[in-house]
């Protein structure tokens, strides 16, 4: 029985890593190409004013938009006989002065509450309490539709006598999709690995399966950010044949795309 929960833990960790890697590819903007209308646009080596300018693209050149990071866009210039293809970062103000294929100024809409209601991916970090112990958690979620999402999470639990790692997989139902403050309900399972720190007694590491139900609240803040608060009630199926009931409270910041 010990190998099975450990396998579930490893599978959950792999799934979380896969979601994190795949989500970076999901951040691409819907528009693909823009044309420079101003005399030039400066390309930086990174998404910030502190990164140096390494290339200047001239009026009339076309840029392929690859992805966005806050107020910066990663773009790629088109190859020509005189100029090699370059990839760099352009600030939002410069992108607002570009044209689409119809010769119209590109309308770069800021993320809003409408995007929050129709989001596909969500990731965040939370802190809280797990049966009296401090908890730090990260999670990633994918929405099948406006009302139902699958979530995978990983928590580090820091207790007085032991530390634990808790991997979870759950469904989250959100009945009121257009509200700025939206309640949600969760139902899921997981596995917890407990490592005793005390040397006063002989204790071994334990890996036990868990099941939980919960309720929470998402609050849209601004742009792509939201506040998430949640309560979960866990049943831990202990290898000592004594099930434990555990309450978990946590809150934190997340972003969506």
Give the tens place of pLDDT for each residue, 76-116: 998 766 668 899 999 888 887 888 887 777 766 665 666 67
pLDDT at 71: 75
Determine the CATH number of domain 3-23+115-256. 2.40.160.20
Q: Is the pLDDT of residue 25 over 50?
A: no
Which of these, 215, 212, 210, lies nearest to 229 by C-alpha position? 215
What is the pLDDT, as a whole number, of residue 16? 56
Q: Where in the chain is the domain with CATH 2.30.30.40?
A: 33-105
pLDDT of amino acid 28:
42
Question: How would residue 3 be classed by pLDDT, with cut points 50, 70 and 90?
Answer: low
Mean pLDDT of the chain: 83
Q: For CATH 2.40.160.20, list the domain ranges present in the chain.
A: 3-23+115-256
The total of other beta-carbon atoms located within 10 Å of residue 192's CB is 25
pLDDT tier, 26 (very low <50, low <70, confident <90, very high otherwise) = very low
Distance CA 9, CA 123 (A): 20
- 163: nearest Cα among 138, 134, 189, 137: 134
Residue-level pLDDT at 157: 95
CATH class of 33-105: mainly beta
* Percent of all residues in the chain with a pLDDT value above 70, rounded to a whole number: 79
């Amino acid at each position: 029985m010990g190998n099975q929960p450990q396998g579930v833990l490893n599978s959950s960790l792999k799934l979380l890593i896969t979601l994190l890697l795949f989500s970076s590819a999901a951040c691409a903007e819907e528009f693909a190409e823009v044309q420079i209308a101003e005399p030039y646009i400066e390309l930086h080596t990174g998404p910030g004013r502190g990164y140096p300018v390494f290339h200047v693209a001239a009026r009339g050149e076309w840029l392929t938009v690859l992805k966005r990071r806050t107020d910066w866009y990663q773009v790629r210039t088109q190859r020509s006989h005189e100029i090699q293809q370059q990839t760099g970062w352009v600030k939002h103000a410069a992108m607002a002065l570009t044209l689409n294929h119809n010769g119209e100024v590109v309308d770069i809409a800021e993320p809003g509450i409408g995007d929050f209601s129709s989001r596909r991916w969500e990731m965040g970090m939370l802190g809280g309490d797990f049966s009296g112990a401090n908890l730090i958690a990260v999670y990633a979620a994918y929405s099948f539709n406006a009302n139902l999402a699958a979530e995978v999470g990983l928590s580090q639990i820091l207790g007085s006598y032991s530390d634990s790692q808790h991997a979870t997989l759950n469904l989250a139902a959100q009945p009121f999709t257009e509200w700025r403050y939206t309640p949600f309900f969760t139902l899921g399972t997981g596995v917890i690995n407990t490592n005793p720190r005390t040397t006063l007694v002989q204790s071994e590491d334990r890996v036990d399966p868990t099941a939980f139900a919960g309720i929470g609240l998402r609050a849209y803040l601004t742009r792509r950010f939201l506040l998430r608060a949640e309560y979960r009630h866990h049943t831990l199926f202990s290898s000592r044949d004594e099930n434990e009931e555990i309450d978990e409270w946590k809150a934190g910041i997340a972003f969506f795309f």
